[in-house]
Amino acid sequence: MKNNFLIFFKILLFSLLLTSCSKTNKLDDINKILLLGDSLMSGYGLKENQALSIILENDLKEAGYNIKVINGSVSGDTSEDGLDRIEEYTASGDIDLIVLGLGANDMLRRINPDQTENNLRKIIEIIKTKNIRIILAGMKASPTNGLAYKKKFDNIFPKLADKYDLNLIPFLLKKVALNPKFNQSDGIHPNYEGAKVISETIKESIINLD
């Protein structure tokens, strides 16, 4: 009976060790992440230490992952601006994962969704040629743009994620959009509490990478 208990204990201990190692090593090939977006990810209106990149890096550390997060987001950027910058951002060759969160400014400027989709497609293809992994952060259009525009714009992100087999965050501003508790006075940009919610959304997507 004693020997059976020892065998069971060793098996249990070995299983726990494997589980622990799996969690620790799951993202071993991810050392540096680039956030490529606009003011929703850049830290617009926030103190420097409240930027999404800093929050996300700390959240990942608390989860056991020592990963550097770079803020490559620029307020006002459209998908075309992102396309213009992508070669520069990836030139160093040390980026392992890009969280691509562009499109909101395209929608605000009522840019044709076909153009937005085309720009994002080109960005994705450039990133893929450099063997960098991608998480695509989706955006939703306001109904004030018209239901036809909204349907076409909203479909850009799941369509691209499906085409290029990307991990998709269906809506970057989940739980944040239209919630005064999580937004600055303009009702558009996340405040510090909102940035923490967005960080949690992105963190979960990173940890659950396929």
How confident is the model over 173-182, as pLDDT tens digits?
999 999 999 9
- Give 24's pLDDT tier (boundaries 50, 70, 90): very low
How confident is the model over 177-196, as pLDDT tens digits?
999 999 999 999 999 999 99
How confident is the model over 109-168, as pLDDT tens digits?
999 999 999 999 999 999 999 999 999 999 999 999 999 999 999 999 999 999 999 999
Instruction: Tell me what pLDDT residue 210 has.
Output: 81
Residue numbers annotated as active site: 39, 186, 189
The answer to the question of residue 15 being in a domain is: no
The answer to the question of residue 21 being in a domain is: no
SS3 letters across the chain: CHHHHHHHHHHHHHHHHHHHHHHHHCCCCCCEEEEEECHHHHCCCCCHHHCHHHHHHHHHHHCCCCCEEEECCCCCCCHHHHHHHHHHHHCCCCCCEEEEECCHHHHHCCCCHHHHHHHHHHHHHHHHHCCCEEEEECCCCCHHHCHHHHHHHHCHHHHHHHHHCCEEECCCCCCCCCCHHHECCCCCCECHHHHHHHHHHHHHHHHCCC
The answer to the question of residue 82 being in a domain is: yes
Q: What is the residue range of 63's domain?
A: 29-207
Domain harbouring 56, CATH code = 3.40.50.1110
% of the chain with per-residue pLDDT over 70: 88
% of the chain with per-residue pLDDT over 90: 86
Q: Considering its fold, how many domains does the chain have in total? A: 1
The answer to the question of residue 84 being in a domain is: yes
**pTM of the shown model:** 0.87
The answer to the question of residue 5 being in a domain is: no
The answer to the question of residue 24 being in a domain is: no
The answer to the question of residue 18 being in a domain is: no
The answer to the question of residue 74 being in a domain is: yes
- Give 28's pLDDT tier (boundaries 50, 70, 90): confident
